[in-house]
Amino acid sequence: MQKVENPESISTVKKGSLSNLFSFFGRQEPISEYSEQFARSQEKLSQTIERSDYISRDLSWLQFNFRVLDQARNPSRTLFERLKFLAITASNLDEFYSIRVGSLYNYLDFGKERIDYSGLREVPFRKTLLSAIQQFDDLQQDCFSSQLIPIFEDNGLKLAKFEDLNEKEQKKAIEYFDRTIYPMLTPMLFDHTHTFPVLLAKVLIFGVITQQDGASKAGDDEDNQKLSFVQIPQNLPRFVVFERKDLVVFISIEEIIRYEIRKLYRNVDIKAISLFRITRNGDFTVEESDDIEIDFIDEIRQKIKNRRLGRVVRVEIEPNAPEWMLHLLKKRWEIDAHNIVEAERMIDFTSLWQIVRHPEFKASTPPVPASVPAFGVEAGKIADIFETIKEGDILLHHPYNNFEPVIQLLEEAADDPQVLAIKLTIYRLAKRSRITEALLKAAENGKHVSVLFEVKARFDEENNIREAQRLQKAGCFVIHGISRFKTHTKLLQVVRAENQGVVSYSHLASGNYNEDTARLYTDIGLLTADPIYNRDITEFFNVITGHSLPESYQYLITAPRDMRRQLIKLIQAETKNAKLGLPSGICWKINSLEDKAVIDELYRASQAGVPIKLIVRGICCIRPHRKNLSENISVRSIVGDFLEHTRIFYFHHNNNPKLYGGSADVMVRSFDRRIESLFTLANPRVRQQAIHILDYNLRDNVNSYDMQEDGTYARCELGDGREPFNIHQLFYEVSEEEMMKASLFTDD
């Protein structure tokens, strides 16, 4: 089937308004009209951001999700890329409601006090936040209905109503209902003789109002009405697909059920049918036991079950739902109009993944390019992984550099008779993880395998418990997290007996040991045989697996012990240099910036004249460019084809830069409630690579948004005839010579 170009990207562009096409993803530079639309769309959202010196964490996150939505609104992307990003915004919002709005209700429901960074207390903040989210929902629906659906058929697909199907297709749809769907449906009645049913979160549900056949219909007598619910099975595809000559037709399962629903309600009158979906509070904490590990696991399992039954925090529903039903649901779930979201065109955009991944459209989503070898690493499989690491530290920059050397290190260590022990922290794994298989094999081969498996990783708890038990049964020493703390640090150590003695090889990283996300997330990882790193890592493992308390580390900064204090100390050193007239500068690339103590220290550094360049993908509570507060602070966010997950901390240090990588963001939870680590980038070439990564991030003008003083973001524009600079393309093309020239401040 031949696809046409996105007509929107043609019809709305005047001649000469486009830059050169991007060779990587076939991108066109976003036109100025589109950037103006992005700015206008934020106007209502910006009105909700208070004028304090700090940006609200939750409203800042909403601004981030708007930047993701901006990818779906971008007319230079293919339709299927845009559908993908729309699905991502919906998934993001589901988790936000479940966790952040759920957390807010933990305060509201139990009468606890909470003051947002904006200065608002919990009750007015709920109204502010939910109103802002509803504005975002409106933008999602508008993007889908007014920008994407009109170009569906030009790209070979149709989203159909039942009446849009031809006679043959209708017959097949009815047969599918009778054969597969109908046996799985169970109407659940609620009246004075039936208790209110347990409705599952994130499942499409029909609310059906019925009346006994022959009962009085005058004035729609509510005394004769009954309400029942029909949950649509989760284990069936959202869409039924029909192939036509020039179109792939998708009809939603709920559309078929709606057409045939009378088969579930024989001899009664159906007064109204409304489709809705609920989101429940998924935020929970675990009271860990230091003594009985099995109780800890059982408690997590119970909390997972409770998450499925948590209080309702959102109802997405079709327009014009009966007031009688809405009133009943509001009363039952103790919610109000702020928790009700009308979905004008479609409920649950996450199901768009089925369309994006349909084989017919595979060629319409640009492929991820092949990775390139890291500096100091040969192409393909490394001939001798241990000798290569011993030759010098290796910095891997994913996904541009393959994750394979990390896998190779583990797999070869599992088989190598000289390897004595393997130690690893695990937060999230791939579904069919080669990491797990390598560890199982190592245990079978008699290696000592120690794994700190964080079973509290949100929404991965069940998978992590299952994988941890597999390792335990194979003879691995498994620790299910640390009491009161989540283990988020990413560390691997292989201990090997060699001719000159025992040598350790380590990997320190910003990202998870997950080969799937390593192809989609940007991260850094350091492979090293340096004795100082390995001594620190050995000590650190002793801390998190036992009761050791080392006095200090040479190359590690750890949390919850002293990471906040050390970062503040490094900021203060830059402040002191600026006051003395010495060169200074700070540049960080992180996911989130929220800790008030660190923000205040950055404000003081800015006031002393320290230039501060922050690259913060998501939540950012610092307010840049405010007079007499943060005039020397700039913030940018990069949102594009890869999820920016790298953490790098740069301090200019009077022309002798100090750089750190690691797993931690600048958040209260990272400093106080997590086992985290930052690691010094000691090797000069590795340090220069990190400077180059930061430099390219600051030069990007395709995926970047600059934060304004009011908390909103402006798209970076090319302007002045500048060429497009797309880091998601250019990191695949970096030469060592070019990397060595990079700098951030004077005389790096």
Query: Which residues have a catalytic role annotated?
Result: 488
Alpha helices in 417-518 (DSSP H): 434-444, 461-473
DSSP class of residue 593?
A: B
Structure tokens at 640: 């594009």
616 strand-pairing partners: 590
DSSP for 370-418, written as a single string: PP-PPTT--SSS-S-HHHHHHHS-EEEEETTS-SHHHHHHHHHHHH-TT
**Counting every residue, how long is the chain?**
748
Structure tokens at 373: 């070898």
Alpha helices in 503-562 (DSSP H): 531-545
- Cα gap 496→419, rounded to integer Å: 4
For residue 310, how far is the Cα from the chain centroid?
22
Tell me: cis bond preceding 399? Omega within 30 of 0 counts.
yes
Using an 8 Å Cβ cutoff, are 232 and 203 in contact? yes
DSSP class of residue 367?
A: P
Phi and psi for 677 in degrees, rounded to 5?
A: -150, 145
Tokens 């919990």 map to which residue? 122
188 strand-pairing partners: 229
Structure tokens at 384: 């001798």
Structure tokens at 676: 């985290």
Provide the 3-class DSSP secondary structure of residue 177: helix
**Nearest residue to 342 (alpha-carbon basis) of 125, 84, 135, 90:** 135
DSSP class of residue 187?
A: -
Tokens 């010098």 map to which residue? 392
Structure tokens at 243: 């192939």
Strands 486-487 and 394-398: unpaired
Tokens 């009085």 map to which residue? 216
Strand order from edge to edge, sheet including 225-231: 188-190, 225-231, 205-212, 268-280, 312-317, 340-342
Using an 8 Å Cβ cutoff, are 60 and 619 in contact? yes
Number of helices and strands in the chain (H, E): 23, 27
Using an 8 Å Cβ cutoff, are 90 and 349 in contact? yes
DSSP class of residue 12?
A: T
**Nearest residue to 299 (alpha-carbon basis) of 460, 455, 98:** 455
Q: Note the maximum CA span of the chain.
A: 95
- Cα gap 528→539, rounded to integer Å: 16
